[in-house]
Amino acid sequence: MSIADADTQILNFKISSQLKSIIGKDLITDDHVAIFELVKNSFDAKSQNVILYFAENEIHIVDDGKGLTYEDLVHKWLFVAYSAKNDGSEDSGSTENDYRNDLSVSRHYAGSKGVGRFSCDRLGSRLILQSRSAKDLGSVNSLDVDWTEFERSLTDEFVNIPVRHTSSKDFVKPDWVISPSSSGTMLSITGLRQPWNRSKLLDLKRSLAKLIDPFGRNRESFKITIIAPLEELEDKKFSSQNIDDPAPNSFVNGVVENFIFQVLEEKTTWLRTWIDHGAKKLYTELNDRGALIYRISEEAPYASLLDSNFECNLFYLNRSAKATFSRRMGLPSVNFGSIFLFKNGFRVYPLGEPSDDSFGIDARKQQGYARFLGTRDIVGRIDVKGDETKFKESSSRDKGLIETVAAHELRDCFWKKCFLRLENYVVGVSWVLKFDMDIEDSSFLNGDEAKATVISVLAKLANSPAITVETYAKDLLSIVSNKVSEHSRVFKDLESLATKVGDVELANSANEAVQKFLEMERAEASAVAYAERERANRKEAEQKEKLATVAFEKEQQKNLFLTSLQSHDKEILENLHHQVIIYASNAINSIEANLIMLRNGANLKREEFQELLENLLLLNQQVLAASRFATTANFRMESNTIREDLGGYVQQYLERVCPIYENRITVEVKRSVSNFVIDFKPIEISIILDNLIDNAYKAGATKIEFNIRRLESNILQIEARDNGMGLDPTIQIEESIFEKGVTTTSGSGLGLYHVRQLLEKLKGVITLGDSSISGTVFNIKIYK
């Protein structure tokens, strides 16, 4: 006999009262997550304000949302695992003008499982729910739930546990709790299962700051406030400590705020990627400290993400950005978290937590620590909209997304279109320019080396046939009119980029730059060859006359500058003469090339004539520096570049060459560092120091002090402090003094510009330091 032939009887599942614990305190294992679930419900109820009240043994959560009717309580709230958000009835017939209405149309809510209400069980043993509906502003409906009644016996059936309902004219509450003025809901939780001390409340406030999308355009439309009377005294004590610009979330009481990303947009490298559903395109935009670097577009290859409003914002945290973050948020960035995921405006846990590596970023970094970014280097968010069929959260609410096609495409898009593009720029530009880690603005992009590296990164990106360059930082391409002797590779990138974007003017400029570079190379080679021949001839003729004792040679090894100012060794003079010939020949070739152009009928543009004079000025400074060595210091320079202790060189130059300024300004030097050995060009270091001294003299200073010290094992700092008139008050932006042509004296406005350019070659940076009432301070940092 088959089963079909047997008598059929219909049976039903029986549900133990312990189901409450399984979907309540046993499922939601974190108090913060429990609070989050309840706040999400307030958000979905179209609240604009949620207030969390904490007392010794009670929590009250009050919102001003649409509230619940008696029918809502019976047919929705008491219907376990049923969610009106899933079947479309949650906001049916709603006419409210709210920015979240677009969520209801597609049934996109912060919560949609129908179990978030059991978070109350996680927090305390008793719940009193009071709610006034916007549909009926008369009575307040109340439910009284004693969770302990569900725990008395495993054989009790869930549906038989009583939940008491009452109705009243107004909210019943403690005096210190403010109830909704019209519609809204109030959850009063007592018999707390865990104490809420100050530390736990502060952690909650910081976590809530990350709960709601802090990047969203409508983030101010939903406000969360914490009120804890027992913590008011400690808040006042903290406030009285006179801390400059304290982080708002350092106080328990007050509005939950998250503003750090608005600050970072202007302080560091920021990459934004988004999908345009209508155009079916994916856009990527990269900004570096407020300066737009590029915006590109391509066909969006992710079908499941097309209608998800996918957007990703990533920020690279250099040393300066990390310091800003800690100062403004009251905790280190590493303790804040990394890449957060927001679904329908609310966070998906645990993505973004400090210990989370859901995207495998840190696992990859272990394979190449110096080549890859880690979670400590970045902070940002991904946000999407979609229902449970696309982006389904784990039921435990702290295990992230369940793997779906859309979730897989989200991870792929993040890696290939967001993270790797930011990493390519950071590693290719910021990490190459080591001084970049300390800079808060985009001034470093004015340097030739910075421009060359940025152009290289952009050109490689543009070479992909699938990518369209929408816009880019055209001012970065002014490198074609600057010194380019060390950046030959950039011209190929420029030509490639010009072809890709169809920029005829850029293509012509790139072609002219190539010709100028080739002419410069030929002139340089000719000058060097001539100088080498001259030196070889003299060495051969004077070889027999050259006498050098062992003692003198040993003394030479000790000093970069010889102590005797009376002897002028012929070999020393030969080396200096060799340098002077190169600089002078370059000047001659530059002048001749432009004269030929003029004779051939070319019209020399004002900018080209200005560039010619700027280059001649720098060459003249090099000639003067070399001459000063020969006449004043007996400098032992055997090649254009030497590898020596930079701190020692600077000290010796200032002490032994700079007495030439003794009738104009006193130069003092202190050095507390040794053995900072790097490759450098002595002439260029001398030009840097000469310009700083000359600037101080022009500012009326009688003394300038140089302090040479090591900040870190790989960072040398040179502080130059004078007692002159200080920065001219007419200069609005202090950093502008390093720009070409900016001057408040009778000078050309090129001195500090050349200083910055020369330092860039050394992987160094110059900034204006804190000055006293009178005087100016410059801080130079050189990295190795």
The first and second tokens of residue 491, run together, are: 């011209």
pLDDT at 473: 74
Whether residue 57 has pLDDT greater than 80: yes
pLDDT confidence of residue 51:
95
Closest CA to 452 of 496, 491, 502: 491
Predicted local confidence at residue 624, as pLDDT: 58
Secondary structure (3-state) at 199? helix
The domain made up of 19-91+99-255 has a fold known as Heat Shock Protein 90 (3.30.565)
pLDDT at 131: 95
Percent of the chain predicted with pLDDT > 90: 22
Burial 19-34 (b: 16+ CB within 10 A, else e): bbbebbbebbebbbbb
Looking at residue 215, its pLDDT comes to 45
- pLDDT, one tens digit per residue, over 264-314 is 776 788 999 999 988 999 999 998 887 888 888 999 999 999 999 999 999
Listed in order, strand segments (DSSP E) in 614-702 are 642-645, 666-671, 677-680
> For the domain bounded by 641-784, which CATH number is listed?
3.30.565.10
**Residues in the chain, total:** 784
pLDDT > 50? residue 201:
yes
Tens digit of pLDDT for each residue in 455-489?
777 778 777 888 888 887 776 555 444 444 445 56
Q: Note the pLDDT of residue 517.
A: 63
Tell me the angle at which helices 31-44 and 198-209 cross, rounded to the nearest 10 degrees. 40
320-326: average pLDDT: 76
**What does the block give as tokens for 450?**
């910075």
Per-residue pLDDT, averaged over 713-740, amounts to: 79
Question: What are 353-363's pLDDT values in tens digits?
Answer: 888 898 999 99
d(CA 513, CA 505): 12
Asked if 340 contacts 313 with a C-beta cutoff of 8 angstroms, the reply is: no
Cα distances (Å, whole numbers) of residue 30 to 34, 36, 133, 328, 385:
6, 10, 30, 27, 25
* Residue 241 vs residues 247, 331, 332, 509, 556: alpha-carbon distances, Å: 13, 17, 20, 58, 58
* pLDDT digits 0-9 by tens, 640-696: 678 889 999 899 888 876 655 456 788 899 999 888 999 888 878 887 888 888 888
- Under 8 Å between Cβ of 246 and 72: no
For residue 162, pLDDT beyond 80: yes
- Residue 110 is encoded by which pair of tokens? 């912060």
- pTM score, two decimals? 0.58
Taking 50 as the threshold, does the pLDDT of residue 578 lie above it?
no
Average of pLDDT values for 114-121? 77
Closest by CA position to 91, among listed 83, 82, 101: 101
What gap in Å lies between CA 227 and CA 724, rounded to an integer?
54
Whether the CB-CB separation of 401 and 407 falls below 8 Å is answered with yes
Residue type, 393: E
- The predicted structure's pLDDT at residue 106: 38
User: How far is 439 from 314, CA to CA, in rounded Å?
Assistant: 18
Phi, psi of 468 (to 5 degrees): -110, 130
Instruction: List all residues 6 or more positions away from 628 whose beta carbon is below 8 Å from its beta carbon.
Output: 657, 660, 686
Q: What's the mean pLDDT in 9-35?
A: 82
Give the model's pLDDT for residue 575: 47
Delimit the domains of the chain by residue range.
19-91+99-255, 260-431, 448-501, 641-784
Chain-wide mean pLDDT for the chain?
A: 76
**Secondary structure (DSSP) of 462-492:** HTSTT-EEEEE-GGGGGGGGS--TT-THHHH
**Which pLDDT belongs to residue 113?**
47
The pLDDT value recorded for residue 239 is 76
CATH number of 260-431: 3.30.230
Calculate ∠ Cα 218-222-226, nearest 5°: 140
Averaged pLDDT, 716-730: 85
Segment 165-176 mean pLDDT: 92
The per-residue pLDDT for 210 is 74
How would you write 47-71 as a 3-class SS string? CCEEEEEECCCEEEEEECCCCCCHH
pLDDT digit string, tens, across residues 206-243: 888 777 654 444 444 788 999 999 999 998 888 777 55
712's CB contacts (< 8 A; 6+ apart) are: none
Higher pLDDT, 207 or 328: 207
Closest CA to 299 of 472, 464, 497: 464
550 membership: H or E segment, kind and range = helix 550-558
d(CA 765, CA 22): 60
Digit-coded pLDDT (tens) for 419-459 = 999 998 888 777 666 555 555 555 556 666 677 777 777 77
617 Cβ neighbours under 8 A, 6+ residues apart: 748, 750
* pLDDT score at 708: 94
- Can you name the residues that pair with 285 across neighbouring β-strands? 272, 295
User: For the segment 511-567, what is each residue's pLDDT rounded down to a tens digit?
Assistant: 666 666 666 666 666 666 666 666 666 666 556 555 444 444 444 444 555 443 344
Contacts of 374 (CB under 8 A, 6+ apart): 361, 362, 365
**Least confident range of 13-27, 175-189, 598-612:** 598-612
Of the listed ranges 2-11, 335-344, 456-465, 741-750, the least confidently predicted one is: 741-750
Q: Which amino acid is at 364?
A: R
CA quadruple 301, 307, 309, 315: dihedral, nearest 10: -20
Task: Give the best-scoring range by mean pLDDT among 24-28, 148-152, 639-643.
Answer: 148-152
Query: Taking 50 as the threshold, does the pLDDT of residue 12 lie above it?
Result: yes
User: For 384-412, what is the mean pLDDT?
Assistant: 81
Q: Identify the band that residue 570 occupies on the pLDDT scale cut at 50, 70 and 90.
A: very low
**Predicted pLDDT of residue 481:** 44
Find where tokens 């002490």 sit. 655
- How far apart (Å, rounded) are the C-alpha atoms in residues 400 and 276? 26
DSSP string computed for 221-241: GSEEEEE-GGGHHHHHHHHTT
**pLDDT average, residue stretch 732-750:** 62
Rounded to whole angstroms, the Cα distance separating 202 from 209 reads: 11
Tokens standing for residue 257: 């705020």
Same fold across 19-91+99-255 and 260-431:
no
Reply yes or no on whether the pLDDT at 492 is more than 80.
no
Task: Please give the Cα distance from 670 to 207 (Å, whole number).
Answer: 49
